[in-house]
C-alpha cells in the first residue's frame, strides 16, 4: 500500500490497531485511515457485512485488515474478541473504542431497560474493551495508545431527548481520564475525541428523532461551517494514536467545527 506523504510522527507502520464499530461511519473512516498510514487493522462490528465491507475497502487499497464480529456490551464476547484478535496479528498497539448507539427518548419516558441498553454499549462496552486492551498492552510491556470516541454532547446539552446518551458519554470521559492516570507509568496513553455533528448514515437515520434546543445548523452556529465528515474525526484519532502525541494523555479533544465556542 502506498503510504501518503506524512511525517514519521504520524505513521502507524508496523502497528496493529483494533477499532470497534468500524463497519460504517466514523469507525470505518478511522480504520481506513489507519490502514492508509501503515497499520494492520482489526475491524470490529456487530454488523458482519459492514465489517467485511470495511476490510474489503482496506484490502482493495493495498492495506492489511481482518474482520471480527462482537457485541461489546457482553463481557464474554469482549474477552473472546481480544483473544481472537491476539491470534490474528499477535499484538495490540492501538485501541479505538468507537462502538456506540444513540436512540433518543424523552427523559420522563426513559425506563431502566432503555437506560441499561444504551449504557451497556456506550459505557460498559468502552469499559470492557479498555480492561481487555490495557491488560494485553501491559502483558506486552511496550505501552500503547487508546482513543475513546465520546461526544460534545457529554459537555454541552443541545439536543432534546438525549439525556441517556449524554450521561453515557460523560462516563466515557471519566474513564478516559481515570485510566490515563492509572496506566501512564506503563507507557499506555488514553485520550478521547469528542465529535460534534458528523454526516454519517447513523446520524442521518436518527435525524428524524432529534428535536433541537435552538437551530444547531443556522449560520454561525458552527463557525467552520456545516457538519463534519468521518475523515475529520479520523484525523484527530490518528493524532492521538500516533507518536505525534507521545507526551499527551488524559485529554478530551472536541472536533465540532467550533460549535462549543459559538
Catalytic residue among 82, 127, 165, 183: 165
Q: Which long-range contacts (CB under 8 A, 24 or more apart) does 224-227 make?
A: 224/257, 224/258, 225/257, 226/257, 227/197, 227/198, 227/199, 227/203, 227/257
**Known catalytic residue: 165?**
yes
- The beta-strand segments (E) located in the chain are 16-20, 40-45, 64-69, 94-97, 144-149, 188-195, 252-255
CA distance 198 to 26: 8
Nearest C-alpha neighbor of 176 from the set 117, 253, 230: 253
Residues designated as active site? 165
Amino acid at each position: 500500500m502506498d503510504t501518503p506523504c506524512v511525517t514519521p510522527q504520524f505513521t502507524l507502520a508496523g502497528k496493529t490497531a483494533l477499532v470497534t464499530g468500524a463497519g460504517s461511519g466514523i469507525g470505518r473512516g478511522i480504520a481506513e485511515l489507519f490502514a492508509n498510514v501503515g497499520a494492520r487493522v482489526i475491524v470490529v462490528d456487530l454488523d458482519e457485512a459492514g465489517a467485511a465491507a470495511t476490510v474489503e475497502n482496506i484490502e482493495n487499497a493495498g492495506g492489511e485488515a481482518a474482520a471480527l464480529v462482537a457485541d461489546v456490551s457482553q463481557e464474554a464476547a469482549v474477552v473472546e474478541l481480544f483473544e481472537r484478535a491476539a491470534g490474528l496479528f499477535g499484538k495490540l498497539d492501538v485501541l479505538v473504542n468507537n462502538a456506540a448507539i444513540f436512540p433518543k427518548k424523552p427523559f420522563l419516558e426513559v425506563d431502566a431497560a432503555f437506560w441499561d441498553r444504551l449504557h451497556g454499549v456506550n459505557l460498559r462496552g468502552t469499559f470492557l474493551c479498555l480492561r481487555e486492551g490495557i491488560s494485553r498492552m501491559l502483558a506486552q510491556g511496550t505501552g500503547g495508545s487508546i482513543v475513546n470516541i465520546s461526544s460534545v454532547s457529554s459537555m454541552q446539552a443541545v439536543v432534546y431527548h438525549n439525556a441517556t446518551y449524554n450521561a453515557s458519554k460523560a462516563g466515557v470521559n471519566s474513564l478516559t481520564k481515570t485510566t490515563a492516570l492509572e496506566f501512564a507509568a506503563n507507557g499506555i496513553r488514553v485520550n478521547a475525541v469528542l465529535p460534534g455533528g458528523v454526516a454519517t448514515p447513523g446520524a442521518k437515520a436518527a435525524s428524524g428523532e432529534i428535536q433541537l434546543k435552538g437551530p444547531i445548523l443556522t449560520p454561525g452556529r458552527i463557525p467552520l461551517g456545516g457538519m463534519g465528515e468521518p475523515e475529520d474525526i479520523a484525523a484527530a484519532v490518528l493524532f492521538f494514536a500516533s507518536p505525534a502525541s507521545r507526551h499527551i494523555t488524559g485529554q478530551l479533544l472536541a472536533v465540532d467545527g467550533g460549535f462549543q465556542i459559538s
